[in-house]
A and B are shown apart, each in its own frame.
Chain A
Amino acid sequence: MIFDDKLFEKFGVEYAPNEIIFCEFEPGNEFYFIQSGQVKIVKIINNAEKTLDILETGEFFGEMAILEEAPRSASVIALGHVKLFRFHRDNFETILHGNPQLAYKLLMIFAKRIYDQKRRLMILLLEEPQLKVMDVFNMLAEQDPHLDLQEAITLKITPAEVSSWAGMQPKDVQKVLNNLNQLGKIELFNDKIIVKNIRDFQRVVTSKRKNLYS
Chain B
Amino acid sequence: MSNGFNKPASNILTRTYKHGSIIYFEGDRSDVIYILKAGRVVLTSIKVDTGEEIKENIKLGEFFGVKSAIGHYPREETAQTIGDTTVLVVGRADFEKMMIKNVSLLTKMLRVFSNQLRRIHKMQREILGEGETINPATELFKIGEYYFKSGNLQQAKYAYKRYLEHYPGTKFSDLAMQRIKTIDTGGSNTDFQENAPLESEDDFDSRSGNNVDLTDFSIDNESSSDDSGSQEMHDFFSDDGGDNILGGSSYHKEAIPTRQKDITEMFYEAVSLFSQERYKEALPLFQKILNIKTLKNDSENRIFEKAHFEIGRCYLKLNNIKDAITYLSTMIKKFPRSDNVKNAFLHIGMAFESAGKTDKAKAYYEKVISMEPKDSITKIAMKNLKAI
Contact = CB atoms under 8 A, between A and B. Distances in A.
A29 to B, nearest CB: 4
Interface string A116-146: 0110111011000000000000000000000
A133 to B, nearest CB: 16
B246 A212 contact: no
A96 B107 contact: yes
Interface string B120-142: 11011001100001001101101
Q: Which of the listed residues A112, A210, A214 has the most CB atoms from chain B within 10 Å of its own CB?
A: A112
Contacts of A113: 71, 117
B200 interface: no
Interface stretch (A33-41, A83-91, A185-193): A83-91
Interface stretch (B44-52, B177-185, B272-280, B337-345): B44-52
Q: Which of the listed residues B66, B240, B254 has the most CB atoms from chain A within 10 Å of its own CB?
A: B254
Contact of A103 (B103, B137, B242): B103
B117 A124 contact: no
B211 to A, nearest CB: 15
Interface stretch (A10-18, A51-59, A147-155, A173-181): A10-18
Interface in B82-115: 96, 99-101, 103, 106-107, 109-110, 113-114
A101 B136 contact: no
Contacts of A107: 70, 99, 106, 109-110, 113
Contacts of B114: 66-67, 110
Contacts of A160: none
A112 B107 CA distance: 17
Question: Which of the four size classes fits the interface of chain B?
Answer: 35 or more
A26 B166 CA distance: 7
A112 B66 CA distance: 11
A52 B183 CA distance: 28
A24 B127 CA distance: 22
A143 to B, nearest CB: 9
Contacts of A93: 107
B170 interface: no
A111 B113 contact: yes
B120 A25 contact: no
Contacts of B154: 18-20
B140 A26 contact: yes
A14 B253 contact: yes
Contact of A120 (B76, B100, B124): B124
Contacts of A8: 251
B68 A115 contact: yes
B67 interface: yes
B158 interface: yes
Interface of A: 8-16, 18-20, 23-27, 29-30, 44, 47, 49, 66-68, 70-71, 75, 77, 86-88, 90-91, 93, 96-97, 100-101, 103-104, 106-108, 110-115, 117-118, 120-122, 124-125, 167, 169, 209-210, 212-214
6 contacts: A13-B240, A26-B162, A93-B107, A100-B99, A103-B99, A114-B71
Given A107-B110, A115-B73, 15 more contacts: A8-B251, A13-B251, A16-B254, A18-B152, A25-B139, A26-B163, A67-B114, A67-B121, A71-B136, A93-B107, A103-B99, A107-B106, A110-B110, A114-B67, A124-B128
Interface of B: 46, 48-52, 66-68, 70-73, 76, 96, 99-101, 103, 106-107, 109-110, 113-114, 116-118, 120-121, 123-124, 127-128, 133, 136-137, 139-140, 142-143, 146, 150, 152, 154-155, 158-159, 162-163, 166, 206, 240, 242-243, 245-246, 248, 250-255
